[in-house]
Amino acid sequence: MSRPFDPQRFAVVDLIRRKRDGGGWSPDEARWIIEAYTAGFIAEEQMSALAMAVFFRGMSAEELDPWTQAMIDGGVRLDYSDLGRPTVDKHSTGGVGDKVTLVLTPLVAACGVAVPQLSGRGLGHTGGTLDKLEAVPGWRGNLTSAQVRRQLREVGGAIVAAGPELAPADRKLYALRDVTGTVESIPLIASSIMSKKIAEGTGALVLDVKVGSGAFMKDLAEARDLARTMVRIGTGAGVRTVALLSGMSTPLGLTAGNALEVREAVEVLAGGGPADVVELTLALAGEMLAAVGVDADPAEVLASGRAMDRWRRIIRAQGGDPGAPLPTALETEVVSASADGVLEQLDAMAVGLAAWHLGAGRVRKEDDVQAAAGVELHAKPGDLVRAGQPLLTLHTDTPERFAAAQRALAGGIGIAPSGTTVTPSPLVLGRVA
């Protein structure tokens, strides 16, 4: 039987100092921090200090597991075992141009699996699925648990925000990390993702852990460590969990923004779209179906148009109009190639920051985003380019933002002499189960 929460049991400042100085917390202390933060006993500035201490000092499994469990226990844990079909969700750790969820959810739902796709908002330089879908007129992501359950029964898929009843500590901490420079931390990322995913009640989970300049994890070893941490937490909680490691040094697809990415996702659902988006979508779909034992060919389902039909049903079920025109920016500016040659580098972080400066992301947690802001790519590494040829188009409603976006791109575009061979890196870099 768990001990009743005692706000005076530990001294917050002592816990901050100990972690700051490289010490550890007991399981009880780690759990108490989350309980106290959820109850409002730990102030935002104190939690900011705790998050920064964790950012630099990390957490052991003995600290992280009770910390994560306290996040789960602070709210409800849903159960979809009565749906009559298996459930599976997917989560990406965040990248630039990553609109895969928009295609993957209707695709896997069209294969006969229920997909309670819990999604978030933009964090740092990366875009959020909810921000993207809110570019669709009328669409809303805030559904009650009962509404999600009904939609899963009737449509097979739902893309929703975490309700206030799911991991409430994470709801507060997620926004705090975005504005305090504490996003790129393995224990904070792992506990944030896994607390919500376990609480949402899915039977299986596939993780897309991004690796590269535009990801929170910059190198493969670091990304593999994050993947192993999350797979361990998920498996320990009884959720079948597997992770793919995928490259994020170049933006995924040809757009980074909100409405721009929705438009590209619809192109993929219609049988077109960039090859890299299609490749990663099918790889993740295959893992999701395998995790729940469903024998279906996602490539065939995508080609058949059934995924597009399911997309329209999901959008309509959540109040959106799948046939309505998407927002377009009031202003655009072209970035041109500086020389003839081969595009050797198009840095994902540079493009992500440019999109953020244009209005696609947030400076403060209470900020709105511009639906039409972002970056459109006209070439990818390995393409031949000519001097003066458009490489990127910047989109925004506020043209005074163009200068900051251009500065973000400085050094992020590399053109090699003609004849240079640019070998693209594999998109899927590994698997952890």
Q: What is the mean pLDDT of residues 109-121?
A: 93
Catalytic residue among 90, 121, 196, 357: 196
- Burial label, 172 (beta-carbon count in 10 A; 0-12, 13-18, 19+): middle
Instruction: Report the pLDDT value the prediction gives residue 250, as an integer from 0 to 100.
Output: 97
Task: Indicate the domain borders of the chain.
Answer: 12-58, 88-317, 331-416
% of the chain beyond a pLDDT of 90: 87
User: Fold for domain 88-317?
Assistant: Pyrimidine Nucleoside Phosphorylase; Chain A, domain 2 (3.40.1030)
Distance between CA atoms of 90 and 206, rounded to whole angstroms? Answer: 5
Catalytic residue among 99, 177, 240, 395: 177
Q: What is the C-alpha R_g of the chain?
A: 21
| Residue-averaged pLDDT of the chain | 94
Q: What is the mean pLDDT of residues 108-135?
A: 89
Q: What is the mean pLDDT of residues 269-278?
A: 97
Instruction: For 12-58, give the CATH class.
Output: mainly alpha
Distance between CA atoms of 62 and 50, rounded to whole angstroms? Answer: 17
pLDDT band at 1 (very low <50, low <70, confident <90, very high): very low
The reply to whether domains 88-317 and 331-416 share a CATH topology is: no
Identity of residue 198? I
Instruction: Report the pLDDT value the prediction gives residue 365, as an integer from 0 to 100.
Output: 60
Is residue 199 scored above 50 in pLDDT? yes
> Is residue 192 annotated as a catalytic residue, yes or no?
yes
pLDDT digits (tens, 9 = 90+) for 147-187: 999 999 999 999 999 888 899 999 889 879 878 989 889 99
Is residue 2 scored above 70 in pLDDT? no
Instruction: Report the pLDDT value the prediction gives residue 120, as an integer from 0 to 100.
Output: 82
> Is residue 177 annotated as a catalytic residue, yes or no?
yes
> Is residue 170 annotated as a catalytic residue, yes or no?
yes
Catalytic residue among 91, 132, 362, 395: 91
Catalytic residue among 65, 98, 170, 178: 170
Tokens for 30, please give them: 């780690």
Q: What are the helix and strand counts (H, E) for the chain?
A: 16, 13
Instruction: For 331-416, give the CATH class.
Output: alpha beta
Catalytic residue among 48, 92, 119, 192: 192
Q: What is the pTM of this model?
A: 0.92
